[in-house]
Structure 1
């Protein structure tokens, strides 16, 4: 989020500039002006942290500048350091008291300090039987205040305080809201709780493929592969192809050696699909785009492998859910928390898999400890889905008598959904 000068601030600053910066010449000295660049650009911080910025006004006379906050409850000034204390309009005046024959002059800036977005942690209690036992709802908010709950499906369920009462089969929709404060924006989270015979709604991660590198939903598709014989990277041997109807996509790694290596070849592959409209993960903060798991319990997809990769028996597939949870690791590298489960096709035909979401474990913790996979799924969107080799295929022989072709192939058919 960036600072934006309000409409009144723009008009006011323009008027001041046209009038010589709010001060200017008098009978006692020559006219001078102040250049006072826009001081916005940061965001208000959550206490006890305070966002600061350096004020950099200059006077045409070359004289020293002093700064005063006209709105000390919102922003304060110490020397040339401006501290943003809470959301609101911040007014700061730069003054030059007169210097070497120049009259005093001042210039004022008025800009908006926006509120911080806040995250509400409201985890779905999951599908519930239709009975008389109330369900306790629980949520926390970044602002620290109480989260209030309300049902928008009163024929299915009602809420009193934090107690949910089940009334009929159906989808119970509950909204948790926190009103915000001087630091945080108002925020809300909606949870859909299946009651009785009701099922969770299906969420589509991708519906198919627009072309070889893009899903129908506008997400990027990228594949990688390599062996010990080509530097562990594609190096021109990777290919992606979508079917004419967009119903499937095949990733192929095909390496024909121009010389015998004298030993077994080790290899891997990885195919990643980004969420709708997403080209890549954010490199500077959380990725907000993606599928958000509510009461869904399974991930469904269909894959097939080629015979060469399947035949050794070490053809397991790692399925990764890369979340919007962003971390800068101790070594300074950006990282997104990922969850992992495994699937294993038994033949070359397309096989439909249904993986329980609660069977996923932490695949990459990005250096964090005590992460809970289900909580991560509830709190952050799934920004990317990945399929990769669970282990290397080292069964392709490369002897002095032959020049083998090493082929790896994975085909995705139909949609990837969560329900």
Structure 2
């Protein structure tokens, strides 16, 4: 299985040169003063050995005389004529010189190019809650680069680490960091796991604690209602309303299907998307993956309410979907579309208002984006949950408080309080 970080993620992995500024010019000897324009070469990427990436240097002298280039950092970059070869990440300093021409004095100009390291991914999965005993626990992790990962305990009174072996010492939360130290091409990357030992419970992770308004969580995440019907071109079309309670404890999404006469064979869908704070687009390239990453948590909990007509209809299953910061390019009608992996589970409301718990190991892959061999439990640990959706598998099929001549089919979802993982 080939992993990609979300379009929310590794699209900026190329080692791009970025300019840190130029040096000054100097004139030696007599003659008219000339200057050198030495723009940032830009755009080149560092290739991994045995390949070497190159870029062209393009300085010009005001005198029109020829330019020569010299690398001041030959371990990072070398120059052959006007061709700059990038050997590894680091600071590449290049001097452009004009030795004197047609009565002009010699001059030189230096540029400093920063060659950043490539990011890498460390996959380090939590072994889960452990009993307090003398049985050691094996730790495993791998880096996307294939470079070795080392482990260290941040809580030596609770647990210690020797190589890849975890030793349990006391009840508590054992914090272990898996680190890949990087090299001349790849940046250092670390992943922290919190392992409950003995009587300790996994920490509570809060995705949304409440609502600042009808479209924003208290954490700053976006709340979007979605709906449509066969009677209104399959989108909200002014039939939707989304509001938060005065105390910010809940958000309500109502879908009112307004008809001129009763309909037969009415089709509809509706629900709520909650995006992680800082995430505006699931497929925004060049950004760090955003969302909540599962550690040792095993259950998602939430409180949901529906209008009584929908619950009493007997056809009111809710699909809970977790959209991950894991994407792949999926073929679609002859082109490739960015596709985020989705995990899901269904709940059947037992009352108009109820609290629900879904075991994370019970969720299944609902959208694989063309990837194979996906394990939902591993995927949640390896990639963040960027969006949580609550969607009705069918809309309310009963008419509420309206006349038979112009009925309004009203269906509501109300999400109250926090969405938490533990």
- TM-score bracket for this pair, using the shorter chain length: 0.7 to 0.9
**Structure 2: distance between partners of 1:150 and 1:4:** 34
Change (3 A) 1:14 1:292: same
Change (3 A) 1:239 1:342: same
Change (3 A) 1:89 1:193: same
Asked if structure 2 preserves the Cα contact closer than 8 Å seen for 1:357 and 1:374, the reply is yes
Once the two structures are TM-superposed, the CA of residue 255 in structure 1 deviates from its matched residue by 2.5
Change (3 A) 1:149 1:405: same
**Structure 1: distance between partners of 2:18 and 2:181:** 23
- Bigger CA drift: 146-155 or 276-285? 276-285
Could you list the runs of 5+ residues in structure 1 that have no partner in the other structure? none
Residue 287 of structure 2 corresponds to residue 283 of structure 1: no
Could you list the runs of 5+ residues in structure 2 that have no partner in the other structure? 1-11
Asked if structure 1 preserves the Cα contact closer than 8 Å seen for 2:396 and 2:409, the reply is no
Q: Name the counterpart of 1:228.
A: 230
**Structure 1: distance between partners of 2:52 and 2:346:** 45
Once the two structures are TM-superposed, the CA of residue 53 in structure 1 deviates from its matched residue by 4.7
Q: Name the counterpart of 2:3.
A: none
Aligned partner of 1:15 among 7, 24, 38: 24
Higher normalized contact order (CA 8 Å, seq sep 6+, divided by chain length): 2
Q: Name the counterpart of 1:381.
A: 384
Once the two structures are TM-superposed, the CA of residue 83 in structure 1 deviates from its matched residue by 4.4
Asked if structure 2 preserves the Cα contact closer than 8 Å seen for 1:32 and 1:105, the reply is yes
**Structure 1: distance between partners of 2:229 and 2:42:** 51
Aligned partner of 2:394 among 392, 399, 403: 392
**Structure 1: distance between partners of 2:81 and 2:314:** 70
Aligned partner of 1:357 among 356, 360, 363: 360
Q: Name the counterpart of 1:139.
A: 141
Once the two structures are TM-superposed, the CA of residue 307 in structure 1 deviates from its matched residue by 2.7
Q: Name the counterpart of 1:264.
A: 265
Q: Name the counterpart of 2:320.
A: 319
Aligned partner of 2:370 among 354, 367, 370: 367
Aligned partner of 1:342 among 346, 354, 358: 346
Asked if structure 1 preserves the Cα contact closer than 8 Å seen for 2:159 and 2:174, the reply is yes
Once the two structures are TM-superposed, the CA of residue 52 in structure 1 deviates from its matched residue by 5.3
**Structure 2: distance between partners of 1:187 and 1:287:** 13
Asked if structure 2 preserves the Cα contact closer than 8 Å seen for 1:341 and 1:359, the reply is yes
Change (3 A) 1:189 1:198: same
Residue 180 of structure 2 corresponds to residue 171 of structure 1: no
| TM-score, with length taken from structure 1 | 0.85
**Which residues of 2 match residues 114-129 of structure 1 at below 5 A?**
114-129=116-131
Q: Name the counterpart of 2:203.
A: 201
Aligned residues: 401
Once the two structures are TM-superposed, the CA of residue 325 in structure 1 deviates from its matched residue by 2.0
- Bigger CA drift: 32-41 or 337-346? 32-41
